Chain A
Amino acid sequence: MNNSLSALMVGLPASGKSTYLGALYYLLRKGADPRLSLVELPEERDYAQELEETWLRFRPFERSNLPAPRPLDLALVGPEAGNFEFSIPDITGESYDELWEHGVWRDEVRDLAVEADGILLFIHPGKLIVPELIDVSAKPLGKSPATPWTAERAPTQAVLCDLLESISVERGGWLPRTAIVVSAWDTVDDLGIGPEKWVELQTPLLWQWLTAQGDPFRFETFGVSAQGGDVSDEGVRSELAENPDPLDRLIDGRGANDLIEPLLWVCKR
């Protein structure tokens, strides 16, 4: 493994990026996973601690008003991975909204996209917009004209394909290893399918995009549950708080992956 690696987090607002980072930082700091842990606390750790605290307090991660990516640089060590510096800045979903809706790259995000050694693309099942067609077999209940198209209403799969296209263009036509992270996996694991099949069925356009690229592009699909439940629900919060070990919130349910897996995978060389 290289001594210095960086990952680009990609995802629309509320897709689970910050939750993942908050839980991941706690997990690494506690040294709870033998495969990877922090060598030392980062010198600049304000934001990491803020994320961690938000996660520990079961607070929903607010939409960030800060447009710039928040740096998160970690010195990591693991028996297979060895020692390496890992940079995984938190990038607001709004930055990606802007890219999709207005075609505008924030300079800092563009730089990160160009330099990243791997990509973590987040999809939240509860935030999925699907391209549902008007049912032509049903008799319409009166005429109602179509509202004009706006980019905000676009299906998630189209937006994510477009974001990958945009990143690819910036990188001269190729993408690094890309982990597709289905967040809040515990909310969909009762379907009896794994994350890979879920992405194929729920976001078929994205799935085709990913599988059609071929060599040398590599992608892998992961389902992670970093929150433990819908923390905007007081009942869920109370239930989660009864468990003394916060790490028990990292549900390892059917077809689920732990938080370390996508990270290790994008770092693999």
Chain B
Amino acid sequence: MSVENPVPEGEERKVGVDEALESTVEVAESGADRRPLALDAEGANQVAAARRPTVLVLAGDVGSGKTSVYAALYERFGRGPFGGRSFAGSLTIPGFEKRCHGWRLASGASEPAMDHTQPSDLQWLHMRIRDAECEHPIQDLLFGDYDGEIFKGLARGEEPSVDMGFLRRADYVGIGLDGDHLSDPSQREAALENARYLVGALLKDERIADPSVLFLVLTKLDLVEARGEEHRQALERSIHELAQLVEEKSGGFEPPILRLAARSKSERFPLGHGLNELLDLITERPAVHVLSSPPSVSGHDPYTGFKA
């Protein structure tokens, strides 16, 4: 939803970058609540053009823990700097707050829970971070929080129901692997098969700009550990098999592997376990596509890759 300010007749309206950003932030329309919660593709596009953010998309099935990763990152910053970095701002604080709600006492719930991302949810979350010593400039990050059904369909070879241009712009695409399923013998093979299909789908037809944007994200590490050593080892074999698959299909790129427990019930895994490594990955090497123009795709902004 665009917000227009009246301009006196005959006067040209000057729009600054930040004003432009503000005007394209979509708002949630539910009754009287008109507060922007996150960014739509247009808003993300504006941020991308103005601030050159690093774009991260986590791809994975429904319930694989994608949203929990983003929420835990924000929730962890809410308790202080970590991994040598500080929170430096966000255009989507309400979006993070809403996602963290189910983990908090204020929700009234007896156990933490994360709502599944819905197709109607605005997908893009924005965060600025900075090294705690303030020696380097602030870095802008955009997180694509897409409904897992989209990736499920992609893995099944279905025609995507939404425009997938965002994958081409992503500097990092993490394949979310549900540790709970992959360490459960009754679900492991199906989960692994789905992950294989997803790897294949992402590397097909230049859906991502370059295979080197890929990495594997094992979520729910706490549940893996709880199943015991035998199952953990089986899971590790599965992950390495997937990493090999990426390597084969990408012509030799070895994807990084992260192991996370974003919001564990176990005291062994504090809030945001492993997220510092995620931040290391996406901030300590330059974003892949910042300096080069990704291949143009019909209907997409040639620089940002988001749907125009």
A102 to B106, CA, bound (A): 20
A173 engages B103 (CB within 8 Å): no
Which chain A residue has the least Cβ–Cβ distance from B21? A169
Q: Identify 12 residue pairs between A and B in the complex whose beta-carbon atoms are under 8 Å apart, listed by A's number.
A: A101-B35, A103-B34, A103-B36, A104-B34, A133-B112, A169-B19, A172-B16, A205-B78, A212-B86, A212-B88, A212-B138, A213-B88
- Assess whether B12 is interfacial by the CB under 8 Å rule: no
Tell me whether B233 is interfacial, beta carbon within 8 Å.
no
- B89 contacts A161, C-beta separation under 8 Å: yes
On whether the beta carbons of B110 and A134 are closer than 8 Å, the reply is yes
Cβ contact within 8 Å between B98 and A149: yes
Give Cα A256–Cα B78 distance, bound, in whole angstroms.
26
CB-defined contacts of B105 to chain A, threshold 8 Å: 132-134
Q: 8 Å CB contacts to B: which residues of A118-153?
A: 129, 131-134, 136-137, 140-147, 149-151, 153
B106/A132 in contact, CB under 8 A: yes
B228 / chain A contacts, CB cutoff of 8 Å = none
- Whether the Cβ atoms of A173 and B33 lie closer than 8 Å is no
Those of B87-141 within 8 Å (CB) of chain A: 87-91, 93-94, 96-98, 100-113, 128-130, 134, 138
- Number of interface residues, chain B, beta carbon within 8 A: 53
Does the CB pair A102–B33 fall under 8 Å?
A: yes
Chain B residues positioned under 8 Å from A154 (CB to CB): 94, 97
B102 touches A169 (CB 8 A): no
- A133-B75, A153-B106, A154-B97 known; A146-B113 Cβ under 8 A: yes
The residues of B that contact A102 with a CB separation of less than 8 Å are: 32-35
Q: Which residues of A contact B267 (CB under 8 A)?
A: 137
How long is the Cα–Cα vector from A134 to B104 in the complex, in angstroms?
A: 5
Q: Known contacts being A151-B35, A165-B90, A165-B91, is A212 close to B106, with CB within 8 Å? A: no
- Check if B107 sits within 8 Å of A146, measured CB to CB: yes
Please report which residues of chain A, range 197-215, place their CB below 8 angstroms from some CB of chain B when the two chains form the complex.
204-205, 208-209, 211-214
Residues of B within 8 A of A149 (CB): 97-98, 101, 107
- Is A212 in contact with B94, judged by CB distance below 8 angstroms? no
Partner among B19, B86, B109 whose Cβ is within 8 Å of the Cβ of A211: B86
| Docked pose: A28 CA to B129 CA in angstroms | 41
Residues of chain A with a CB closer than 8 A to B75's CB:
131, 133
CB neighbours (8 Å) of B96 from chain A are: 158
Interface-central residue, A134, A165, A172, A211, by most chain B CB under 10 Å: A134
Interface centre among B90, B93, B105 (most CB of A within 10 A): B93
Q: Contact between B18 and A208 (Cβ–Cβ < 8 Å)?
A: no
Quick check: is B288 within 8 A (CB to CB) of the other chain?
Answer: no
Within 8 A of A (CB), among B46-85: 75, 77-81
- For residue B94, which residues in chain A have a CB less than 8 angstroms away from its CB? 100, 151, 154, 162
Q: Are A208 and B87 in contact (CB under 8 A)?
A: yes
B15 to chain A minimum Cβ distance, whole angstroms, is 11
Q: Least Cβ distance of A212 to chain B in Å?
A: 4
Cα distance, A159 to B108, chains bound together (Å): 20
Whether A103 contacts B27 in the complex (CB less than 8 A), given A151-B35, A204-B80, comes out as yes
Interchain CA distance A76-B16 in the complex, whole Å: 36
A133 with B35: CB separation less than 8 A: no
How many contacts between A and B, using CB within 8 angstroms? 140
Q: Which of B22, B78, B79 contacts A169 (CB under 8 A)?
A: B22
8 Å CB interface, B267-304 against A: 267, 271
A67 part of interface (Cβ distance < 8 Å) = no
- CB pair A205–B108 under 8 Å, yes or no, is no
Chain A contacts for B100, CB-based, 8 A: 131
Chain A residues within an 8 Å CB radius of B21: 169
- The reply to whether A165 and B106 form a contact with Cβ atoms under 8 Å apart is no
Known contacts being A134-B110, A140-B111, A204-B79, is A212 close to B130, with CB within 8 Å? Answer: yes
Select from chain B the residue with minimum beta-carbon distance to A98. Answer: B35
Contacts of A141 in B (CB 8 A): 110
Residues of B with C-beta under 8 A to A170: 18
In angstroms, how far is the closest chain A Cβ from the Cβ of B133?
Answer: 10
**Any A CB within 8 A of the CB of B17:** yes
Q: A6 on the interface (CB 8 Å rule)?
A: no
In the complex, what's the smallest C-beta–C-beta distance from B264 to chain A, in angstroms? 7
**CB pair A134 B88 closer than 8 Å:** no
A162 with B93: CB separation less than 8 A: yes
Residue pair A134, B109 in contact (C-beta under 8 Å): yes
Point out the residues of chain B lying under 8 angstroms from A100, CB to CB.
Answer: 35, 94
Which chain B residue has the least Cβ–Cβ distance from A203?
A: B78
Specify which chain A residues have a CB less than 8 angstroms from the CB of B104 in the assembled complex.
131-134
Q: Is A253 an interface residue (CB 8 A)?
A: no
B114 smallest CB distance to A (angstroms): 10
Chain B residues near A101 (CB, 8 Å)? 33, 35
A22 CA / B126 CA spacing, docked (Å): 40
Output the least CB separation between B103 and chain A (Å): 6
Complex Cα distance A172/B17, Å? 8
